[in-house]
Structure 1
Amino acid sequence: MVSHRRSPHPGHSRGTRVTVLSAAAVTAAAALGTAPASADPRDTTEATRSTVDRLYEEAEKATERYNKADERADTLRARVDRLRDSTARGQERVNRMRGALGSIAGAQYRSGGIDPALALLLSSDPDSYLGRAEALDRVSDRQALALRDIGQVQRKLGQQREEATKDLAELERSRAAVARHKRTVEAKLAEARRLLNSLPDAGRDADRASRSGRDGAPMSLGDQAPASARAAAAARAARGAVGLPYVWGANGPSGFDCSGLTQWAYAQAGVSLPRTSQAQRYAGQQVPLSEARPGDLVAYRDDASHIGMYMGNGQVVHAPYPGASVRYDPVGMMPVSSVTRV
């Protein structure tokens, strides 16, 4: 999560950039004592905090895109490695098969280079003709089978090389996407940090208080039971992560972004979740918010760009935004898009 308010201007449009720059200009003017006479410092501080909220939200959406691209790159990297290993083994097999055929051809050449059937007819031992002819048929059958096997293996190798080439190209595109989304996140966070630093200390403290609610301290969790043993284990893990820092792109154990926390918590319960919040929302059965139980995943915003874990008594544990720690917040801190029981 990044914000407890819905942004009126989501996205990365020119209008958004103008709004960000305008808010920064107003804030800078206030800090220098050159704000318009009619400007209310409280209004200026609130406008700056709203801009920071929106920047955090945009940064988190970019973080989830970063996570998705990074996960895809990891998958492709593993697939390319498997294809390379399989191709190498296949090439070794082809080399062995070719070597065997070469030995047979060499033996025939050393026998005089004449047709083997004619050699049998001219044999000085007619009594062994039939047996030797049968052996020759078996050799020919083996050669034909070996040639067919080589052809099949070579065709498979060609397909694997083609697949590996395509995957390598996609891997490079995924790496470029990872780098692009990383730059976007860093730019959003740097701008948010700059705006926060431009506020008076009281304004910055008010901003932190407005988002932390109870400074992350847990209220009573009640006696609501998790839906399963794995949900109970995941909830215990998430509760144990309270106080650890938000680190974008991280999935533990010493820092987390939002989907990294839920993925890590369920991994402690022996359950493998997808990396992104958008994919995690479909990682189980969706239930109404009114039926949420500890361990259920709560996705926020229409695009599920933020996710937390329900802990009971109307609370979630989540990794909120840069500069904050994993903490408890009310489940209704933002519009809920889905609740998923893993």
Structure 2
Amino acid sequence: MASHRRPRQPNRARVTVLTATATAAVALSAQGANAAPKPSKSEVKAQVDKYYAEAERATNQYDGAKEKQQKLEKEISRLQDKVAREQGELNELRTGLGAMASEQYRSGGIDASVQLFLSADPDDYLDKASTLDSLSEQQVESLKKVQAKQRELAQERAEAAEKLADLAETRTELGKKKTEIQGKLSKAQKLLNTLTTAERRQMAEEEQRASRSATARVELGKEKEVAASGIGAAALNAAATQIGKPYVRGGTGPNSYDCSGLTQWAYAQAGAHISRVTYTQVNEGPHIGMSQLKPGDLVFFNNTEHVGLYAGNGQVLHAPYPGTSVRYESMSTIGSFQFGVRVNG
């Protein structure tokens, strides 16, 4: 006989768990389908190189602002010293006029014109030429000296105030550039962190092989290429003694360098002073093309954001970017070549 019992209803809690599990599975499936694929090692390197180039651009601007700040600080200090001296000289001139007035008083009273001067602005006073007739030649000369000194003092104070305002703007710019640099380097590091330990080790090994190859090519080319000048040869030899020292933003030696810090230091050892940043180092000599390069010439890349020393046989000696050290590298792997500059000292 057929059973007439009602079918058993599924447990409410069990239905809830199954529904939640199914929903989560669908969500994870959708998330996996929509997630961007992990970038390859070559893609990471290309993007990291881009961030380093942007950081180097900001570093050049930072170095330029830093140099400007140091120059302004020296000029302001000089102006402040000059203002203090001139104020002392003005005080002495006024003291002399006071002594003159005292003498007149003891001998029968202060001349009305001198009395007017002591209670009024000398500039306004001397502009009233009619009062000069009642002054002695000595008094006129003293009053003119006071007037000239006051005008000079006012001009120096105005110049100092202008430079102080410029210094404040420069310091603000420095802060912005520092933040920009740190942001670019942070992005580069985050990208590098997406690589496995093995991938990062492989990248480092590839760079080491490339550096050894570049060094070998420099040695092979020494007999074929000679520097255009003794200064260029001396600068290149000096830079070669710094191989292995780390790249540090703002570094000018002797313990660390950024790209233009290395070139400036190297030429200083050769007895030639060149400016601090790439934007001004481009003006240190005539521009030359790739086929004209000689060892020791400055070589500029990436819209003049990066500089190194031509080492011969298509190789460059430079401070590449954070995390690396001074090394030889093929021109073909550094970036877009702009031009060379031959420093004649």
Taking structure 1 as the reference length, the TM-score comes to: 0.77
CA distance in 2 between counterparts of 1:282 and 1:73 reads: 21
Are 2:230 and 1:233 equivalent residues in the alignment? Answer: no
Q: Do 1:226 and 1:293's aligned partners in 2 also have CA atoms closer than 8 Å?
A: yes
- C-alpha distance 35-235 of structure 1, shift in aligned 2 (>3 A): farther
Partner residue, 1:337: 338
Q: Which residue in the other structure is 1:122 paired with?
A: none
> 1:284 Cα shift?
1.1
Q: 1:231 to 1:51 in 2, by over 3 A?
A: same
Q: Which amino acid aligns with 2:215?
A: P
Partner of 1:248: 249
Question: For residues 210-289 of structure 1, what are the structure 2 equivalents within 5 Å?
Answer: 210-212=206-208, 214-215=210-211, 218-219=215-216, 220=219, 221-223=221-223, 224-289=225-290
* Equivalent residues of 2:65, 2:170 under 8 A apart: yes
* Aligned amino acid, residue 226 of structure 1: A
- Per the TM alignment, residue 115 of structure 1 is displaced from its structure 2 partner at its CA by 6.1
Alpha-carbon distance change, 36 to 327 in structure 1, aligned in 2, over 3 angstroms: farther
Query: Equivalents in 2 of 1:114, 1:56: separation in Å?
Result: 76
Residue 143 of structure 1 and its aligned partner are, at CA, apart by 2.0
Q: What's 1:157 paired with?
A: 153
Does structure 2 conserve the Cα–Cα contact (< 8 Å) formed by 1:296 and 1:310?
yes
Matched, 1:82 2:83: no
Deviations along 1:275-302, one digit per CA (max 9) or x if unpaired, are 1112111111112221111211001012
CA contact (8 A) 1:66 1:178 kept: yes
Deviations 1:50-86 (A, max 9, x none): 2211111111111111111111111111111111111
Q: For 1:46 and 1:240, locate their aligned partners in 2 and report how far apart those are by CA, in whole Å.
A: 32
C-alpha distance after superposition, 1:135-157 (max 9, x if no partner): xx9x9222212211221121111
Residues 108 and 236 from structure 1, CA distance in 2 versus in 1: closer, same or farther, beyond 3 angstroms? same
1:58 corresponds to: 54
2:338 counterpart letter in structure 1: S
Q: Deviations over 1:206-234 (max 9, x none)?
A: 33345455235622141322222222221
Distance in 2 between residues matched to 1:39 and 1:174, nearest whole Å: 42
* Corresponding letter in the other structure for 2:149: V
User: Structure 2 vs 1, CA of residues 322 and 159 (structure 1 numbering), >3 Å: closer, same or farther?
Assistant: same
Distance 1:263 1:251 in 2: 8
Looking at structure 1, the residues matched to 33 and 199 of structure 2 have their Cα atoms a distance apart, in angstroms, of 19
Deviations along 1:155-210, one digit per CA (max 9) or x if unpaired, are 11111111111111110111111111111111211221122122112211233345
- Tell me what 1:8 maps to: none
Q: Find the residue that maps to 2:283 and give its secondary structure.
A: coil
- Return the offset for 1:46: 2.4
Aligned amino acid, residue 222 of structure 1: K
- Structure 1 pair 52–74 and aligned structure 2 pair: CA distance change class (3 A): same
Pick closer, same or farther for the CA change 1:37–1:164 going to 2, 3 Å: closer
1:1-342 matches, within 5 Å, as 44-113=40-109, 140-212=136-208, 214-215=210-211, 218-219=215-216, 220=219, 221-223=221-223, 224-302=225-303, 304-333=304-333, 334-342=335-343
> Structure 1 residues 195, 35: closer, same or farther in 2, change over 3 A?
farther
For 1:289, give the aligned amino acid. Answer: M
State the partner residue of 1:14: none
Identity of aligned residues (%): 40
Q: Which structure 1 residue ranges, 5 or more long, are not aligned?
A: 1-33, 117-136
Seen in structure 2, the aligned counterparts of structure 1 residues 66 and 39 have a Cα distance that, compared at 3 Å, is: closer
- Quick one: distance in 1 between partners of 2:111 and 2:189? 86
- SS of equivalent to 2:210: coil
1:209 and 1:215 in contact (8 A); partners too: no
Which structure has the bigger radius of gyration? 2
